[in-house]
Structure 1
Amino acid sequence: MHQTPPIPVHVPLVREPWGILKSLNAARRNVLSIIPDIATRQPMVSGKTGKRWHMVMDPDAIRRVLLDRLDDYPKSMVTKNLLRPAIGESLFVAEGAHWRWQRRAAAPAFSHRNVTNLAPIMTAAAERAATRVARNGPKAINMADEMVRATFDVISDVTFSGSGGFDRDAVHRAIDGYIAAAGRVSLFDILGLPDWVPRPARMMSGRHLNEMKAFADASIEARRRDGHDGVPDLLDLLLQGEDPETGRRMTTGELRDNLLTFIVAGHETTALTLGWALYLVAFDQQVQDRARTEAQSVLGSRAATADDLADLPFIRMIIDEALRLYPPAGMVSRTALKSDRLADREIRPGDTVILPIYALHRSHLHWDDPDAFRPERFADRKAIRRYSYLPFGDGPRICIGASFALQEAVIILSTLLARFRFTPVPGRDPEPVMIITLRPEGGVWLQAEPA
């Protein structure tokens, strides 16, 4: 009898209609759990929960939202209400002309040359992570936590290198505290109540925010005053950045909001990708063996560098497949400003248009055996239909730090796989839960033995 190979952990999707209260309770625990299973088998699903909504999985319709009519589909108020208290009108939240000038000013900081110049910081963080794993011995280790530590090392060094008094633990606690308090979907948001109605969870998170902002402001002013020797870091590059069309530079407040965006988004999303990638290679030892052979043949026993990336194609495929199965931004929403048609369906002004990236990446219309872990899907990237794979978004608002994140993920993952064999801890599988990002709830508990 033919046996179907096991599939890695996934979110059970809804198979019957839910009312608003049941949807709310589910969304507060895991927003992905409100996605109907039919969304993985159809180009579009529509409904009404307080207000009209449409989940869009059709690549041509997604292109229309993210590219052709970008300004007619701004980020939804739910998204802005969650994030604006922390990161102001930064790149992630701003719209229209205010977003465009910031993007032009920040883009040079993320050029290929500048990202490559920051690679030694990633190599050093990979080496420290490997040392911590080795020191742990054969005991089970939560690799999700280890990857958060490694990527936070990187983001703090590339944003505030040389800043005296940088208390990494305090900043990290502040970020976690804010996400935990403010990140849960509020009933007020789902019902579409106006911004001025207080959201209790967000009121509780003010202390954490003030700590983060005060530290960032002090660091920016100190850098302006004292300068910085060595390779320019992100703060240097943003301070130098100006809109090539107008010559405008960022104020301290604008710099701070964008730096906090890069710190929050830049370390957590890459840490999640690495945590899920390690879970997946422990889940499939054959994939892990192939990846280790590649890593050892290129690296021997040293840590990876930017120069090695072209020689580690299979490890890059593992990262791509982890981003497909567990995209950090598993769902994004937009608000329609004008009447439109998407996938031959009427869109009215005020409708919520949801791009459920998690369902898109597991769509039976776009992927063969979509819940299975198969890194070789990405052997030929040209064969993947545009707008069917969106771990970093697409169009003009594609994630500005995508190349930074991919470089960091390949450097850290290849360094670890060259040195260790990871095996799962029985009964400790992570659970995919999305609040703001798609996290492995319960941690990624693995055993690591020298390879």
Structure 2
Amino acid sequence: MKDQVAETPALPVRVPLVTRPLNLMQSLAAARRNILEIIPEIATRQPIVSGRTGTRWHMVMDPVALRRILLERLDDYPKSDVTKTLLRPAIGESLFVAEGADWRWQRRAAAPAFTHRNVLALAPVMTAAAERAAGRVAQAGPRALDMLDEMVATTFDVISEVTFSGDEGVDRAKVHAAIEHYIADAGRISLFDMLGFPEWVPRPGRMVAGGAMLETKRVADRAIEARAARGRDGVPDLLDLLLGAEDPQTGRAMSVEELRDNLLTFIVAGHETTALTLAWSLYLCAFDQDVQDRARADAQAVLGSRACTGEDVENLPYIRQICEEALRLYPPAGAVSRTARAPDTLCGREIRPGDTVMIPIYALHRNLLLWDAPDAFRPDRFSDRKAIPRYAWLPFGDGPRICIGASFAMQEAVIILATLLARFRFRPVPGRAPRPMMILTLRPEGGVWLQAEAV
């Protein structure tokens, strides 16, 4: 298998998928280096691919079968033990990890915080962060910038403000560093994970990174307790909304520990995934100047010289299409896995209890049975969303467990991207193309180095 990213003048960067079977140790090495490298190339041409590496596994790329996994038989396909082992040290039994009744009541309690009205009320925070990002880009002048770093800083600016606004005692930089450390080091799959060792068997990397996350949990606990005691004036932020959340069926409210785990989940997911969407979107706009020109014209027509607001988002459909196409080509969660709990049949294939059922979203989004020229960057694919099979595009998942913050993320991405494209022309830096690499999320290894010129 090649280690270099396949690149042609006509296509943006992509990962060359594996063309030969891997044994257990080869799979482990590939997964620790880049999870996408364990996906067989045939997964872009078939509805299902099966094999055995320690345990039986199936990769599913068929929308009908995916609907069955994510909607019709949701409880028979809980998140895999590996996923829970990777994430529990950071986010506990939060919405992302919880299953069954525990997940359902948390979802019911948290859902009102993410209504359109509440998400729109938080848009001014996003607009202010976009303005600051544009200011930093302008100040840098013509020199090359790593727009991945810029977008991570910008989206963490947003999520920290909508979770810890007014809490001056919170060291946001320290929280950010702990999260970044966990994602970079503790998220790598270990041999113990591949062999199915129980969660209580220590994984050294996670033990080291877990210390920083433990302190972050203490910081979050103190912020929650302080906010509950004194309250806060103004528009409710995410922490206010969660403090007031309760299950409408039972009246149950979240404990401090449950609040903290969900707050950390939203902090991690709420900045990491949106930052990646923006970084990849900027890379793609620099890659295709015609797309960038059209997007800039649309943004300038709506915004003029001001920053984008929440009310502008619905008037910028092409900017949203760019984000959606970036999410197709480089989904932040490039692969997710489930563990079958009951016998089933998917695409005519027998599924046994204990089998690992993977959804390789990176391959699904590039499957030749579902997409025309799937490796090409074409935002117009999303001009008619009804033409796209619902379970063929899954950057946020789907079914009852669809990402609760999807509308928050898309609003934020459009606001920031429109503001930047209206003011700057971005060009690639020769020889600095990013390499798609997934540990916990699909990141551009080496950063997204672009030159920005004011327009």
How many Å apart are 1:181 and its aligned residue? Answer: 2.4
Looking at structure 2, the residues matched to 210 and 23 of structure 1 have their Cα atoms a distance apart, in angstroms, of 31
Note the alpha carbon deviations across 1:307-363, whole angstroms, 9 max, x for none: 111111110000000000000000000000110000110000000000000000000
Secondary structure in 2 aligned to 1:418?
Answer: helix
Secondary structure in 1 aligned to 2:396?
Answer: coil
How many Å apart are 1:216 and its aligned residue? Answer: 0.2
Structural mapping, 1:24-173, within 5 Å: 24-173=28-177
Secondary structure in 2 aligned to 1:392?
Answer: coil
Structural mapping, 1:279-294, within 5 Å: 279-294=283-298
The alignment-based identity, stated in percent, is 74
Q: Which of residues 337, 344, 351 is equivalent to 1:340?
A: 344
Residue 430 (structure 2) pairs with residue 426 (structure 1): yes
Structure 2, unmatched stretches of 5+, are 1-7
Q: 1:261 maps to what in 2?
A: 265
Q: 2:4 maps to what in 1?
A: none
Q: 1:387 maps to what in 2?
A: 391
How many Å apart are 1:166 and its aligned residue? Answer: 2.2
Residue 233 (structure 2) pairs with residue 200 (structure 1): no
Deviates more, 1:249-258 or 1:184-193: 184-193
Residue 272 (structure 2) pairs with residue 274 (structure 1): no
Q: Which of residues 433, 436, 440 is equivalent to 1:436?
A: 440
Q: 1:177 maps to what in 2?
A: 181
Q: Which of residues 13, 18, 39 is equivalent to 2:17?
A: 13
Q: 1:217 maps to what in 2?
A: 221
Q: 2:5 maps to what in 1?
A: none
Secondary structure in 2 aligned to 1:55?
Answer: strand
Secondary structure in 2 aligned to 1:205?
Answer: helix
Secondary structure in 2 aligned to 1:403?
Answer: helix
Q: 1:329 maps to what in 2?
A: 333
Deviates more, 1:69-78 or 1:166-175: 166-175
Deviates more, 1:406-415 or 1:175-184: 175-184
How many Å apart are 1:180 and its aligned residue? Answer: 2.0
Deviates more, 1:198-207 or 1:395-404: 198-207
Q: Which amino acid aligns with 1:377?
A: R
Residue 199 (structure 2) pairs with residue 191 (structure 1): no
How many Å apart are 1:404 and its aligned residue? Answer: 0.1
Note the alpha carbon deviations across 1:63-106, whole angstroms, 9 max, x for none: 00000000000000000000011111100000000000000000
Q: Which of residues 242, 247, 251 is equivalent to 1:243?
A: 247
Looking at structure 2, the residues matched to 167 and 303 of structure 1 have their Cα atoms a distance apart, in angstroms, of 28
Q: Which of residues 342, 366, 372 is equivalent to 2:376?
A: 372
Deviating above 3 A after TM superposition, structure 1's stretches of 4 or more consecutive aligned residues are none
Q: Which amino acid aligns with 2:85?
A: N
Q: Which amino acid aligns with 1:365?
A: L
How many Å apart are 1:409 and its aligned residue? Answer: 0.1
Looking at structure 2, the residues matched to 19 and 174 of structure 1 have their Cα atoms a distance apart, in angstroms, of 34
Q: Which amino acid aligns with 1:352?
A: T
How many Å apart are 1:5 and its aligned residue? Answer: 5.6
Looking at structure 2, the residues matched to 211 and 178 of structure 1 have their Cα atoms a distance apart, in angstroms, of 12
Looking at structure 2, the residues matched to 181 and 217 of structure 1 have their Cα atoms a distance apart, in angstroms, of 24
Looking at structure 1, the residues matched to 29 and 9 of structure 2 have their Cα atoms a distance apart, in angstroms, of 33
Secondary structure in 1 aligned to 2:29?
Answer: helix
Looking at structure 2, the residues matched to 166 and 425 of structure 1 have their Cα atoms a distance apart, in angstroms, of 37
How many Å apart are 1:198 and its aligned residue? Answer: 1.3
Q: 1:306 maps to what in 2?
A: 310
How many Å apart are 1:6 and its aligned residue? Answer: 1.2
Looking at structure 1, the residues matched to 72 and 210 of structure 2 have their Cα atoms a distance apart, in angstroms, of 38
Looking at structure 1, the residues matched to 184 and 323 of structure 2 have their Cα atoms a distance apart, in angstroms, of 26
Q: Report the RMSD for the aligned CA atoms in angstroms.
A: 0.7
